Structure 1
Amino acid sequence: MKDVTILPFNGKTPKIHNSAFIAPGCKIIGDVEIGPESSVWYNCVIRADVNFIRIGARSNIQDGTTIHCDSASPATPNGHPTIIGDDVLVGHMVMLHGAKLEDRAFVGLSTTVMDGCVIEGDAMLAAGATLTPNKRIPSGQLWAGSPAKYMRDLPEPAIAGMRMGVAHYVENAKAHKAAIEAADS
């Protein structure tokens, strides 16, 4: 992976499935696992130096996103790892910190998701929103604003569109990987 930084930290080396796409400019540090057909786009930082980060299958982490986790404290003895399930869409320039995105969650452009938050499957956090600590977005709901609040239930076509977005990113990642390999040869 040319122009990608993969850095072991505290005895933990990132584990990246061989079918995943990691774009140039990415920095992946510490106790990170990235699953099959997932994609991490240009100039993302995934830093698991104080807890762990897991990214499931077919999830995409779009350009400029930063993912970190939270260390243990008296209030949270296990801290807050960041866990991203399968088929998750994470928009450009997102900040994820110690949160859980369940399978098929959607996080819009330039959002912030803070410690202890959970976004359930088929739920969406709208572009520009901030989900403050320990909030949960239930399945099928759209939340927006800063701080984010419930806006409405998502109609079935919107949920279907999110699923189509996952398939698009899997194919687009393959095309980018091929383009980079061709340019390097």
Structure 2
Amino acid sequence: MSPITTQQPLVLPWQGVWPKIADTAFVAPNATVIGDVEIGADSSLWFNVTVRGDVNFIRIGARSNIQDGSVIHVTRAKHETVIGDDVLVGHMAVIHGCRLESGSFVGMGATVMDAAVVEGGAMVAAGALVSPGKVVKSGQLWAGTPAKYIRDLTAEELESLPKGTAHYANMGRQYREMLAGGGA
């Protein structure tokens, strides 16, 4: 069996501004983080994630999870991207110049565009496109292209959100420890 590589993520400054990444965050070895970016404690950026804070800033709170292949970007001089605490972002999502409030969920392959807001306790379905300036209200599920209100979330769905972020914070810790130790 081959040894585990200790390759580091690509972390680059933009115009002299370096990303700030909490010591307890997990950033996968092939993730890229550029510029004016802050990543909070116990958050995780998984494989092939790009977070590019070059023409505006990006803030990712604590225990938030950005899954494989997702892209987080901004709009020059207009819209920063702010992702709160305990946010789940599914695989291959595009988060662009918007706000994902604490406790929100964005499904796999979804896109959230400039000046849109996903409130805490709201869900954007897999593959949805949240158009510029739309607000996904707390307790609602939005789906489609363009995304629109589908229904209120069930109590079970609302209860599952913090369980998901706790799971990924734990997974991130395990990956960080595995890579730091160089073994399985």
Pair in the same fold by TM > 0.5: yes
Alpha-carbon distance between aligned partners in 2 of 1:12 and 1:125, rounded to the nearest angstrom = 32
Aligned to 1:172: 171
Quick check: 1:43 aligned with 2:42?
Answer: no
The alpha carbon displacement at 1:2 in A equals 2.6
3-state SS of the aligned residue for 1:150? strand
Amino acid corresponding to residue 44 of structure 1 in structure 2: V
Residue 159 of structure 2 corresponds to residue 160 of structure 1? yes
Instruction: Tell me the residue number matched to 1:75.
Output: none
Partners in 2 of 1:20 and 1:174 — Cα distance?
8
Q: How far apart, in 2, do the equivalents of 1:112 and 1:68 lie?
A: 11
Structure 1 residue 183 displacement after superposition: 2.8
Q: Which amino acid aligns with 1:89?
A: L
TM-superposition CA deviations, 1:16-68 (whole Å, max 9, x none) = 01010111101100000000110110110000110000000000111100010
Runs of 5+ consecutive residues of structure 1 not aligned to the other structure: 73-78
Q: Which residue of 1 aligns with 2:59?
A: 54
Seq. identity, %: 52
Cα deviation code 1:53-103 (max 9, x no counterpart) = 00000001111000100012xxxxxx0000000000000000011010000
Residue in 1 aligned with 2:137?
138
TM-score (norm 1): 0.94
Q: Which residue of 1 aligns with 2:116?
A: 117
The Cα of 1:175 is off from its aligned counterpart by 1.3
Distance 1:32 1:140 in 2: 29
1:148 matched to which residue of 2?
147
C-alpha RMSD of the superposition: 1.3
TM-score, normalising length: structure 2? 0.94
Q: 1-side partners of 2:102 and 2:119: how far apart?
A: 7
Q: Which runs of structure 2 are paired with 1:69-148 in the superposition (5 Å)?
A: 69-72=74-77, 79-148=78-147
Higher relative contact order (CA 8 A, sep 6+): 2
Shift of residue 156 of structure 1?
Answer: 1.1
Amino acid at match of 1:157: E
Distance 2:89 2:158 in 1: 15
Aligned equivalent of 1:182: 181
Q: Distance in 1 between matches of 2:99 and 2:60?
A: 10
Runs of 4+ in 1 over 4 A off after TM superposition: none
State the alpha-carbon separation in 2 of the partners of residues 63 and 12 from structure 1: 25
